Structure 1
Amino acid sequence: MNPSAKPTLGVQLIVNNEAELLPRCLASLQGADEIIVVDTGSTDPSVEIARRYGATVIETHWNNHFSEARNTGLSHASSSWILVLDADEVLQTSIESIKEILRGSTAEAYTVRIENLLGSRPEDRLYHSPVRLFRGGQGYLFSGRIHESVESSILIKHGSAAIEASPIEILHFGYLPPVMSAKHKISRNEQLLRLTLAEEPDDVFARYNLAVTCCQDGRLEEARELLLQSLTLAPLQASYRPSIIRDLCKIDLAAGHVKAVDSLLTRELTRYGDYPDLHYMQGQSWESQGLYDPAVQSYQHAIDTMSAPAPRRAYVTEQGMDSFRPLHRMGAIFQQLGKQKEAAQLFHRALQQHSLYLPALEGIASAFQELEVPEGEIAALLIQLTGTAQRAARTAIIGTLYRLGAYKAIAELPPAVCPLEEDTLLFLLSSWIITGKYHTFRKTAAKLRANPTQLSPEGLNAETIQQLCLLEAILTWELGGKLQEELWLQSPAEVRSAVLEIDRELSLDSTEPQAEFAPSGDSPLLAEVIRLAVKHQFIALGKRLVGRFPAHTSTLAEALYEEGWRAEAGELFIGLAGSKEASGATLRYLGELLIDKGHYAEAAGWYRLALGESPADDAVSTGLALCYLHLAEQRLAEAVERLQGKGQQPHGPLQEDRAAVAQSIAVLRCTPWHTKWNYTQRQRGVDLSL
């Protein structure tokens, strides 16, 4: 090699029907000395697009083998360096900057940092660092039917010291759900991976990637078994081995197998102590067990990997695993412990790393709400943290305030900060109704009816239109009015018919029998209307509706309970229980109410009934287990009192049993078994007495 020679850089791609994504990719390659596109049978304009961007196109037959296609491209390369991309990727680093890196380089190859988009949220990112840039003309070849790599070819000749890390960045769109679905990537990948394993049963990398594919397809048990096999077979030095551990922990955490996670990480963190994802998942495991001190320590270890003295290895990692994610979880723990100021500080630190991380944004707002900071000041803080220039920021602010029940703060936001936008329209409309700004609501609704394309060229989507119609209806009924049928002509036919039937029924004298044409007791739209009425604090309207449609008593009771009106809900629950009409969520809510009041035996009875209806409901199973544990704790406490009454000290095993039961209760109470209310909703039940 001649270090002083000016490097030339070629880019290589494999293409098959990529006309939609290819232009964006090729546009990012301006300045490359050559672009070689291997087309494996496109029937769309991919070939024409490639040639339009100056690429040399090699048309070949697709042989279900990515390495064959890659190596076909390499055989036509003439540049001194080769960069490999896919059509669903965009080069973020300029070609000129890459050439500067290569000028005088003594390396044989470089890793690049690939940012994989996984979803619509800013934090939905996964990073990995494969070898994608290497010297041309050295005889290097790709291997692997799928998830092909050139790395082994380089390692055989020169060893790992010849591969260096680079600051080159690539953006990858291929894992976005619409792209995955359109390209049928899961089925294609699984087919090729199973073919690989049929030919080479000992290919651990293929076995691991098959596990990933099964996970993407939602087959978690199959994925877990494949990951366990891969972990047993993978060499300790394999670059993908830490990812096996990461994926296995994610599956076990989702399934609640925390002991398996703890056992695995106790061993593996000694090898991969600089891997933030593993520390984060260890924190999740401790937290789910109610072990808050070690959880905070694990989250802090994840953060510390960012500033460790030695360079961190290039792991597969999710965005924020060493920053805003562990900071948020630490804040959530302090909030759980009632330390709102400390929690707010941690949430603030998380938001300094990612200002639109919604869990932290909601966390800091709820912490200040618990500290009784006025809603207007909380709204001002959110604006200060996120700004309002981006639509995503405005959506985050309004959505956060709405979920916390800070409706007045939303209603008072100035139009400059809070313009009408489809993402937040329903939050605004609801907040105006709840805070009594009926005129503003009606004026806006009329404008939207007159100009459906006001917010977007396509007009409002069907769900938004339906919600707008229902909001207009419940406000009219709450004010004692009757719907004007002509205003409903543009609404969806099924909605119009059902709503007008409800309207006619409500206009009848309360002593008159229910009309034959009225919506049936199991009407989903009627249930939605009742829930909307409660959400907008029209409790009297909810009761009127149930008065005309008694079959929906449980709907009203459940809606009241979910919105925090626990005393009002409790009265209805008792009536349903007395008439033996309690079922579904009502049974669970009865159990929750009784547990909260310390009536564990009675609560267990309702949970048993709920479990009979929904055997797979984790919240019901947990509630029932808590009832039994509390009853056991009471019996143990009574035993201790009896011994002390006789002048005896409780023996060791009895005390150990009592401590074990108390620990089990603490762990279960950390799980999401109970209805969760925000601060506003909790205040509605402060004086609860049934």
Structure 2
Amino acid sequence: MKQGLVGIHMIVQNEEHYLPRCLGSFQSLASECFVTDTGSVDRTVEIARQHQATVLHAKWDEDFASARNISLPLASTDWILCVDADEYAVEGIDELLAFLPTVEPGITKLRVTIINRIGEQEQASVLFQPVRLFRAGRGYRYIGRIHEQLVRGTIGDRERAITADESIEIELPIDISKNVSVEQEPLAPLVIMHDGYLPSTMAIGHKPRRNLKLLQKQLAEQPDHPFHLYNLGVTYCQLGQVEKATEVFAQSLHSTPLEAPYRPTLVRDYAKVLIVLERYDEAHGLLATERQHYWGYADLHLLFGETLEQQGLEERAYQVYAEAVEHHTDVGTPENITKIEWQGKSDIAKTTQSEPAYVTEQGSATYKPYTAMGRLAQKKGFLQEADQLYRIALVKMPTYTPAWRGLADVLQQSGEPDERIAEQLQVQWKEGLQRDDIEVNRNITEVVQALASCGAYERALRLLQDQDRNHNIPEADLVRWMLCANRVSEVQEWAERQYRDGKDRHLFKHSELKMDWAVACWAHGSALPSSFLAVNELEEGSTWRALDSLLCENQPQIEIEIGTRTNTETKKKSNIKIKTLNNTETRVKSHLKDESWDQDKRIIQRDEDRQKVTTSQVSAGVRTLARTIIERAVHTGQLPLAKRLHMKVAELYVEPHERLLHKQWIAEVLYRAGYTMAAAEMLIQCMAEGELQAQSLFILGETVYTRGHYDQSLALFQQALEQEPGLQRARAGASHCYLQLATEVMKQEITRSPSVAELTAQLTVLEQKLRIADGLPWRTVFHAKERRNHVAEQSHFAMHDRKG
């Protein structure tokens, strides 16, 4: 006799971290709960009993189906819901309780919606709808050592269950890690979240290794079975063995029948790894065919668009992104992910859908393709269209970071001042807050980060200062923004406050924070304070002190002091008021350098017997550290420091060719940061002094190409390829130059012989090829931050490096 409506059934092993959340979320739904423990040594069993679960004990025999079947005959409820410990209900409990009694008796199993989180950001998730609810006492059970499948009926053996025996109903795998679709059973109004496969969790867990072992056993029992091969490929991806994944995906796809319900997801995953490996031709061939089989699968359109974009077919990519929006099922839309409407009795009892419920990444049918379309429109110079597309994406998902950054970037490219960019972003943010159908972060984090991403650091910091809300922005980002806004004194004050408080000193184990502190000190004209040196290990501290001595030689030394006293009487002091972002004030004391202070404050001697680092070791370490600091100084806009350190480090190189290589490296750093003219001037100097490396030749060639000097650019690209034949960017650049030169020649011929129609036709073909070539991702991409530096004062940088 049935005693309840729904029973929860699960298998566990060492799940004390997840189990309370899981059982608590289903507490109001379940009339009974069976937890089959397979050998936990933590508090899992205790926690299960605290939640009034019936605990069953079973020896783990490396067979998930066997363990899951143990509790099924004990069910006393009408329905069984199978869940895992790393899942929890987020929506639909009350609706499900109202809905289940209305389901027609002939319907014996139901799908539920599962949101599988695949990244730390809230929108990074995959939606799928497997069968998890089924009627008790109807002959259902599981088969399969791993990625177990729900079956119904009497079977002779496991192999027979895998075949198409009419007496057996075979469901899709119930485990979320399979990422497969399901037959179109009615959809119950229950939404479950799963986060057991987050990258952070996978990094410290053993699931992929365990799955690999079980899949290998399964394949030993059923050699070359396509479903198990597919899951083996997924496991290889989780283990980072992408090449192996492509091999087994290809093998699985070859033998998987077209009607197999997991096949569209196999195609999606296979295409994704091909794109990761930059095997775009193979991905193109796969998706061009398979999209025709699964036209409603937005993920395939999105992946095909990405493939086309990488192949330079940007106009076609734009069309395909539009198809991802136009041709998709309602199952995969963001609205259904965040708020899934419950279907009434008559509707769900008669549900028949022509398209399967595909496994789909959140946003594949809406905000992701809109953002991609906006990016392409912006690249082609259609800035107003790009603006509109980014805004549409943000309407669909108000927390989608790429769309926020794209909108800020296109506003800056359109010539809007920072104040106007901030206003526009805040208007968009307020529109998102007014929506009732989606949960939006109730702070202005996205706006602030978008402002910083487009180089409007000062405006971002001011906006934060005006807000009373928590912003959840990492301190490392805030410190970098202050440095980019040239608030070097505030960075120094912040660092000293963290050191003074003591409890936050662990922050400086973060290498970027420590670098920014040092950059701020040196940019301000200060030596590294004792507090900075105190947070370093001995050997690392020696390198910092050596670099500090190199930079601060013959310069006044300044040290920030907050709530501490110094014991040197030879200091000359002057008090300076500093107002920080937090509106606090501190006293900054300036000290003129002398020998006693230099030894007392800049050299920390805690143990007289510590071994000294040799001069050669310090020199090598100083050069390495100096490169890191130079790169950080350039990227934070502290060019005077970068120039000064560059000159000092150049003196450490004994051989002329080493100095030449160092100068080329500096030029490359400047170029990537957008200081293109300074980089070009420095490379021209290097060319006069000796031979340029392939990467430097490419940078100089790209600079010349931008100015329309295609013959000179071609010569530079060719020289780069002579040194490094595998430099694909130089090869693509040379192809562009040939096309540009051929187009110019053809235009000249048409001018001389305008009546020759064949010349016009050839020009049309050339221009078409040039448009395709322009879409290839060979040129350096400069966003708003770098575009600002194109016009910054920079031409004097290289001149400081001249000798004699």
- Alignment TM-score, normalising by the size of structure 1: 0.87
- Which contiguous aligned blocks of 4+ residues in structure 1 show a shift greater than 6 angstroms? 158-162, 307-311, 387-392, 418-422, 515-518, 687-690
1:251 corresponds to: 273
- Note the C-alpha offset of 1:268: 3.1
Contact 1:29/1:91 (<8 A) preserved: yes
Contact 1:347/1:363 (<8 A) preserved: yes
Distance in 2 between the 1:435 and 1:139 partners? 68
- Note the C-alpha offset of 1:212: 1.6
1:370 corresponds to: 413
SS class of match (2:724): helix
Counterparts in 2 of 1:92 and 1:299: CA distance versus 1, 3 Å: same
Counterparts in 2 of 1:305 and 1:453: CA distance versus 1, 3 Å: farther
- Note the C-alpha offset of 1:327: 0.8
Distance in 1 between the 2:361 and 2:41 partners? 36
Residue number among 342, 349, 358 corresponding to 2:385 in the alignment: 342
1:28 corresponds to: 25
Distance in 1 between the 2:184 and 2:704 partners? 67
- Note the C-alpha offset of 1:149: 1.6
- Note the C-alpha offset of 1:279: 2.0
1:470 corresponds to: 515
Say if 2:721 is the partner of 1:608.
yes
Say if 2:125 is the partner of 1:82.
no
SS class of match (2:149): coil
Contact 2:443/2:469 (<8 A) preserved: no
- Note the C-alpha offset of 1:284: 2.3
Distance in 2 between the 1:433 and 1:258 partners? 40
Contact 1:50/1:57 (<8 A) preserved: yes
Counterparts in 2 of 1:576 and 1:156: CA distance versus 1, 3 Å: farther
Counterparts in 2 of 1:367 and 1:145: CA distance versus 1, 3 Å: same
The answer to which of 147-156 and 637-646 deviates more is: 637-646
Distance in 2 between the 1:592 and 1:418 partners? 46
1:627 corresponds to: 734
1:561 corresponds to: 671
Deviation by residue 1:421-450 (Cα, 9 ceiling, x = unmatched): 784434433443444444433333332222
2:428 corresponds to: 385
- Letter paired with 1:573: L
Deviation by residue 1:604-632 (Cα, 9 ceiling, x = unmatched): 244225626xx4xxxx3132232144225
Distance in 2 between the 1:647 and 1:117 partners? 62
Deviation by residue 1:67-101 (Cα, 9 ceiling, x = unmatched): 11111121222222100001111122465532322
Say if 2:130 is the partner of 1:114.
no
SS class of match (1:570): helix
Say if 2:356 is the partner of 1:313.
yes
- Note the C-alpha offset of 1:570: 1.5
2:772 corresponds to: 667
Deviation by residue 1:436-484 (Cα, 9 ceiling, x = unmatched): 4444333333322222546xxx852511xx4444334334433444444
Distance in 1 between the 2:458 and 2:188 partners? 51
Deviation by residue 1:307-354 (Cα, 9 ceiling, x = unmatched): 779675311000001111011011111111211111111101111111
After TM superposition, the structure 1 = structure 2 runs for residues 65-464 of structure 1, keeping only pairs within 5 Å, are 65-93=63-91, 95-106=93-104, 107-151=107-151, 156=167, 163-201=185-223, 203-305=225-327, 312-386=355-429, 394-417=444-467, 423-453=473-503, 459-460=506-507, 462-463=509-510
Contact 2:295/2:328 (<8 A) preserved: no
Contact 1:410/1:428 (<8 A) preserved: no
Contact 1:395/1:424 (<8 A) preserved: no
Distance in 2 between the 1:57 and 1:187 partners? 27
- Letter paired with 2:446: A
SS class of match (1:298): helix
After TM superposition, the structure 1 = structure 2 runs for residues 487-502 of structure 1, keeping only pairs within 5 Å, are 488-502=533-547
Deviation by residue 1:528-557 (Cα, 9 ceiling, x = unmatched): 211232233332322222222114433432
The answer to which of 167-176 and 257-266 deviates more is: 257-266
- Note the C-alpha offset of 1:6: 8.3
Distance in 2 between the 1:61 and 1:520 partners? 58
Contact 1:600/1:628 (<8 A) preserved: no
- Letter paired with 2:132: R
The answer to which of 367-376 and 427-436 deviates more is: 427-436
2:632 corresponds to: 532
SS class of match (1:356): coil
Contact 2:521/2:528 (<8 A) preserved: yes
Contact 1:328/1:346 (<8 A) preserved: yes
The alignment-based identity, stated in percent, is 30
Counterparts in 2 of 1:665 and 1:402: CA distance versus 1, 3 Å: same
Contact 1:109/1:162 (<8 A) preserved: no
Distance in 1 between the 2:534 and 2:747 partners? 72
Residue number among 633, 647, 652 corresponding to 1:547 in the alignment: 647
Distance in 2 between the 1:662 and 1:415 partners? 51
- Note the C-alpha offset of 1:661: 5.7
SS class of match (2:75): coil
Deviation by residue 1:12-53 (Cα, 9 ceiling, x = unmatched): 101111121111111122141211111112222222221221
Deviation by residue 1:397-437 (Cα, 9 ceiling, x = unmatched): 33322232112212322424388978443443344344444
- Note the C-alpha offset of 1:559: 2.3
Contact 1:204/1:233 (<8 A) preserved: yes
Counterparts in 2 of 1:422 and 1:319: CA distance versus 1, 3 Å: closer
Deviation by residue 1:226-259 (Cα, 9 ceiling, x = unmatched): 2233223222222111112212222233344444
Counterparts in 2 of 1:350 and 1:611: CA distance versus 1, 3 Å: same
Distance in 2 between the 1:307 and 1:441 partners? 51
After TM superposition, the structure 1 = structure 2 runs for residues 6-45 of structure 1, keeping only pairs within 5 Å, are 8-31=5-28, 32-45=30-43
- Note the C-alpha offset of 1:63: 1.5
Residue number among 548, 553, 556 corresponding to 1:508 in the alignment: 553
Contact 1:644/1:650 (<8 A) preserved: no
**Gap runs ≥5 in structure 2:** 155-165, 172-182, 332-352, 434-439, 556-614, 651-658, 799-804
SS class of match (1:541): helix
- Letter paired with 2:787: R
Counterparts in 2 of 1:52 and 1:424: CA distance versus 1, 3 Å: closer
- Letter paired with 1:34: E
Contact 1:190/1:210 (<8 A) preserved: yes
Distance in 2 between the 1:428 and 1:110 partners? 49
- Letter paired with 2:259: Q
Counterparts in 2 of 1:418 and 1:285: CA distance versus 1, 3 Å: farther
SS class of match (1:123): coil
Distance in 2 between the 1:66 and 1:331 partners? 46
Counterparts in 2 of 1:422 and 1:523: CA distance versus 1, 3 Å: farther
Contact 2:664/2:686 (<8 A) preserved: yes
The answer to which of 486-495 and 279-288 deviates more is: 486-495
Deviation by residue 1:548-574 (Cα, 9 ceiling, x = unmatched): 211443343222212222221112212
Aligned pair count reads 670
- Letter paired with 1:14: I
Distance in 2 between the 1:343 and 1:643 partners? 36
Contact 1:554/1:576 (<8 A) preserved: yes
- Note the C-alpha offset of 1:288: 3.1
- Alignment TM-score, normalising by the size of structure 2: 0.75
